[in-house]
């Protein structure tokens, strides 16, 4: 009986990285199975872009290890680079060259002759609705169009893993949605593993798996649904004129734990709609507004850190 290869697409073990006295990554360990669309989710400054640079061989591994499909990033860089396609936060295209000229330059870096890369390029350009524009100069393209060209460029070498750093930067909503549609299509066609760094909850919600990173540490890992289930119910958000007094009174009278996030107070509670009347009755006249919602990934982040993922 032939067993499937269970080697993870990405394996990170006890990874640490510092810039001088500042620890950017603190003993990170997790795996990403092959074929997943996976998000590295965290606020700006969490360490996710540092992790992106390490995985893509752009920075040296200081301590711990990273492997891509079994190849060690520190010791087998050439093998790793053949396995990955990389898309940076800021477009890495020559604006004065045409689409096809940019692709030719990229192919030459991988030692691909015209007979090898040109047919692949035409198939990808056709798939992304760019073939008719392949002779156009990049400088005439919108941000969304440039992202599509970058996807074609990254897929040109037929990588097993695509790594993207904050790929939605500078894109309007329609362009963002189209980019994610194209990513999912690429994954479905070839079993591509896609790893994305992001601070946007809607992007992470599209993924099979999410690693939440904060201040260089791994907070939680799992599917979006698994992470949200850990909240243990609905989220009640309420506020009043005197936040501190309101928090104290609710905790004392209802014997519940209340979290303060900026000027709002939060409770995590099953059957929240049944609990809200008790909340209002416990502190008459002290609550100005109250809302109930299903947990989000931002709620997961708040649950573990006491603050929003996007800042104050």
**What CATH number has the domain bearing residue 163?**
3.40.50.300
Question: Is 5 within the bounds of a domain?
Answer: no
User: Can you give the pLDDT at residue 4?
Assistant: 46
d(CA 302, CA 195): 23
Q: How confident is the model at residue 183 (pLDDT cuts 50, 70, 90)?
A: confident
199 shares its domain with 253? no
User: Can you give the pLDDT at residue 288?
Assistant: 93
Q: Domain residues for 236?
A: 232-294
Contacts of 236 (CB under 8 A, 6+ apart): 266, 267, 268, 269, 272, 275, 276, 279, 290, 291, 292
Question: Is 304 within the bounds of a domain?
Answer: no
97 shares its domain with 56? yes
Question: Is 312 within the bounds of a domain?
Answer: no
168 shares its domain with 236? no
Nearest C-alpha neighbor of 41 from the set 244, 219, 181: 219
250 shares its domain with 136? no
Task: Judge if pTM exceeds 0.75.
Answer: yes
Question: Is 70 within the bounds of a domain?
Answer: yes
User: Can you give the pLDDT at residue 171?
Assistant: 79
253 vs 188 pLDDT, higher one: 253
User: Can you give the pLDDT at residue 311?
Assistant: 62
* pLDDT-above-70 percentage for the chain: 98
Question: Is 3 within the bounds of a domain?
Answer: no
Residues 145-174 have a mean pLDDT of: 89
User: Can you give the pLDDT at residue 31?
Assistant: 96
Residues 277-304 have a mean pLDDT of: 92
d(CA 164, CA 97): 23
111 shares its domain with 238? no
175 shares its domain with 239? no
22 shares its domain with 83? yes
Question: Is 300 within the bounds of a domain?
Answer: no
User: Can you give the pLDDT at residue 2?
Assistant: 40
179 shares its domain with 30? yes
185 shares its domain with 48? yes
CB 181 within 8 A of CB 104: no
User: Can you give the pLDDT at residue 62?
Assistant: 96
The domain boundary, picked from 198, 223, 248, lies at 223
85 shares its domain with 166? yes
Residues 26-31 have a mean pLDDT of: 95
146 shares its domain with 248? no
Q: How confident is the model at residue 222 (pLDDT cuts 50, 70, 90)?
A: very high
User: Can you give the pLDDT at residue 3?
Assistant: 41
d(CA 39, CA 23): 22
In total, how many domains does the chain have? 2
User: Can you give the pLDDT at residue 48?
Assistant: 92
If you write DSSP's letter for every residue of 273-309 in order, what string do you get? HHHHHHHHHHSTT--SEEEEE---HHHHHHHHHSS-T
Question: Is 303 within the bounds of a domain?
Answer: no
Q: Which domain CATH number covers 281?
A: 3.30.70.260
Question: Is 309 within the bounds of a domain?
Answer: no
The domain boundary, picked from 184, 203, 223, lies at 223
68 shares its domain with 89? yes
User: Can you give the pLDDT at residue 173?
Assistant: 84
């Amino acid at each position: 009986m032939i067993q499937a290869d269970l080697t993870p697409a990405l394996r990170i073990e006890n990874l640490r990285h510092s810039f001088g006295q500042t620890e950017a990554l603190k003993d990170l360990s997790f795996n990403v199975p092959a074929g997943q669309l996976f998000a590295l989710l965290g606020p700006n400054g969490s360490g996710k872009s540092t992790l992106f640079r390490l995985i893509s061989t752009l920075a040296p591994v200081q301590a711990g290890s990273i492997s891509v499909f079994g190849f060690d990033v520190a010791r087998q860089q050439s093998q790793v680079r053949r396995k990955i396609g990389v898309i940076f936060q800021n477009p890495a295209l020559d604006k004065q060259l045409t689409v096809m000229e940019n692709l030719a330059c990229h192919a030459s870096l991988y030692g691909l002759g015209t007979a090898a890369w040109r047919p692949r390029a035409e198939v990808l350009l056709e798939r992304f609705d760019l073939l008719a524009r392949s002779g156009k100069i990049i400088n005439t393209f919108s941000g969304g169009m440039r992202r599509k060209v970058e996807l074609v460029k990254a897929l040109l070498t037929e990588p097993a893993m695509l790594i993207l750093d904050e790929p939605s930067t500078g894109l309007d909503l329609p362009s963002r949605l189209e980019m994610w549609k194209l990513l999912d299509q690429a994954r479905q066609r070839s079993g591509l593993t896609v790893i994305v760094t992001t601070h946007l909850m809607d992007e992470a919600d599209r993924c099979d798996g999410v690693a939440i990173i904060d201040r260089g540490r791994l907070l939680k890992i799992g599917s979006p649904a698994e992470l949200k289930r850990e909240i243990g119910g609905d989220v009640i958000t309420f506020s009043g004129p005197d936040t501190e007094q309101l928090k104290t009174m609710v905790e004392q009278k209802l014997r519940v734990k209340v979290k303060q996030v900026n000027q709002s107070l939060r409770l995590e509670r099953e059957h929240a709609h049944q609990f809200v009347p008790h909340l209002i009755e416990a502190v008459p006249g002290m609550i100005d507004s109250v809302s109930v919602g299903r947990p989000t990934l931002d709620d997961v982040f708040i649950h573990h850190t006491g603050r929003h993922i996007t800042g104050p």
